[in-house]
Amino acid sequence: MRPRKSGDVRMGAIGTAYSRIYAVVRRIPRGTVATYGEVAAKAGYPHAPRLAGYALYALPEGTPLPWHRVVGAGGRLSLARLSPDGALTQRMRLEREGLKFDARGRVVTGRLKSLRASKKKSS
């Protein structure tokens, strides 16, 4: 089930899936956003976008990780489903880094545009 938000965090030792995802999130350039799929893929799980979301969900409140740079596909703030308030914080932080949002609350960046172009059915 859901990991505890605080207390027993055994991710101190690197090598776990969470640590890998966190490492990727941490290396997201400022003023840039990455999708859960991107983060998971770079962490070593190209087909487990849920892991990215799951790992971020386990993040403590005072996490130094730039979790706000992680958005859903197309720049959507999936966080809004779980915590609307948190989504506002994320949006505020991203705007502070120079990112823009459209009327629907989607992030507008030149990086996500290439994401949609690679979609295609296999064989």
The answer to whether the beta carbons of residues 58 and 95 sit under 8 Å apart is: no
Sign of the torsion formed by the C-alpha atoms of 121, 78, 34 and 56: negative
Find the shortest distance in angstroms from Cβ 94 to DNA: 11
24/79 with CB nearer DNA: 79
Q: How far is the CB of 45 from DNA (least distance, A)?
A: 5
What is the spatial distance between Cα 24 and Cα 46, in angstroms, rounded to a whole number?
13
- Dist CA 64 CA 19 (whole Å): 13
- Residues found near DNA in the complex (CB under 7 A): 1-4, 8, 10, 16-18, 35-37, 45, 47-54, 56-57, 59, 67-68, 70, 72-73, 76, 78-79, 81-82, 86, 90, 115, 119-121
> What six digits make up the tokens of 65?
């990780």
Minimum CB–partner distance for residue 98 and DNA (Å): 19
